[in-house]
A and B are shown apart, each in its own frame.
Chain A
Amino acid sequence: MTTTPDTTASFKREMLSALPSLRAFAMSLIGRHDRADDLVQDTIMKAWAKQDHFEMGTNMKAWLFTILRNELYSQMRKRGREVQDSDGFFTESLAQHPSQYGSLDLQDFRKALESLPSDQREAIILVGASGFSYEEAAEICGCALGTIKSRVNRARQRLQDILKINGEGDYGPDATSAPLTSRAFVS
């Protein structure tokens, strides 16, 4: 792609429209607003520098998610850290953004999500929340389709186990959203 004012404008526009979801992805991977937004910023700069490689009309969101994910893992390798510093994550982020995590119920769920291995967590987020197909998720994670499917299944199984232990019978199904959202898991 040759960079002209027109293509730059539409590149920028598409990037803006993908940003809310990109932030949500970063936040669900990292768990902290400050570090998630730093990662989004790095991703924007990387993507801007690479805009010649982006083909207009292809999936900007998937492209940005791939860059963000690669950036995160390369930063982690450099720093020798796990994706999340789980210690203190809840205390800190809940203190900073008490309203951001919704009901107590949702906080419990977040804790369960945090406890998943990072490969399973990103798989279930991409497919179950970001709205990607299994194929797109496999491409973003650079792995085989079967690998993504099995990660999603293991993540779902593990969440089921945790939620069953924590709240046997506590959760009433959400009649309006459950039938819609559960479709995300049909493989």
Chain B
Amino acid sequence: MSYDTGTQRADANASSADDTNAQIASKLRALYLSVQEEAIPDRFLDLLEKLDAAERQSSDCSQE
């Protein structure tokens, strides 16, 4: 193409690196969000309930 001068090519390379960086950033976020947006599995909610209950029980006992 007649308008593809060296300077324009250099500019194109620089902006293509920017584009690639932007793509990397958005794909990284997308991948992370695909897990982060899942509901918290029940096993963790149950675990926290149990830890909490165990602690309440032990502090009840120590107060008596």
Q: Which residues of A contact B (CB under 8 A)?
A: 3, 5, 8, 12, 15-16, 19-21, 23-24, 27-28, 37, 40-41, 44-45, 48, 100-102, 105-106, 109-110, 113, 124-125, 128-130, 156, 159-160, 163-164, 171, 173-174, 177-179, 181-182, 184-185
Q: How far is the CB of B28 from chain A (nearest CB, A)?
A: 5
Q: Are A128 and B25 in contact (CB under 8 A)?
A: yes
Residues of B within 8 A of A174 (CB): 22-23, 26
Also in contact, A28 and B32, with CB within 8 A (given A106-B27, A174-B22, A185-B25): yes
Between A and B, 10 residue pairs with Cβ closer than 8 Å are A19-B40, A23-B35, A37-B43, A37-B44, A109-B31, A129-B32, A163-B23, A171-B20, A181-B28, A184-B25
User: Is the C-beta of B55 less than 8 angstroms from some C-beta in chain A?
Assistant: yes
User: Is the C-beta of B7 less than 8 angstroms from some C-beta in chain A?
Assistant: no
Q: How far is the CB of B18 from chain A (nearest CB, A)?
A: 8
Q: How far is the CB of A168 from chain B (nearest CB, A)?
A: 9
CA distance A45 to B35 in the complex (A): 21
Q: How far is the CB of B15 from chain A (nearest CB, A)?
A: 10
Q: Are A181 and B35 in contact (CB under 8 A)?
A: no
A-B contacts counted at CB < 8 A amount to: 120
Q: Are B29 and A100 in contact (CB under 8 A)?
A: no
Q: Are A23 and B26 in contact (CB under 8 A)?
A: no
Q: How far is the CB of B55 from chain A (nearest CB, A)?
A: 6
Residues of A within 8 A of B6 (CB): none
* Choice from B30, B34, B44, B56 contacting A44 with Cβ under 8 Å: B44
Residues of A within 8 A of B26 (CB): 174, 177-178, 181-182
Chain B: which residue is nearest A23 at the CB level? B35
* Choice from B21, B28, B30, B48 contacting A16 with Cβ under 8 Å: B48
* Choice from B23, B33, B34, B48 contacting A12 with Cβ under 8 Å: B48
Q: Are A102 and B31 in contact (CB under 8 A)?
A: yes
Return the 8 tightest CB-CB contacts between A and B, nearest first.
A178-B22, A129-B32, A181-B25, A24-B36, A24-B35, A109-B27, A182-B22, A27-B35
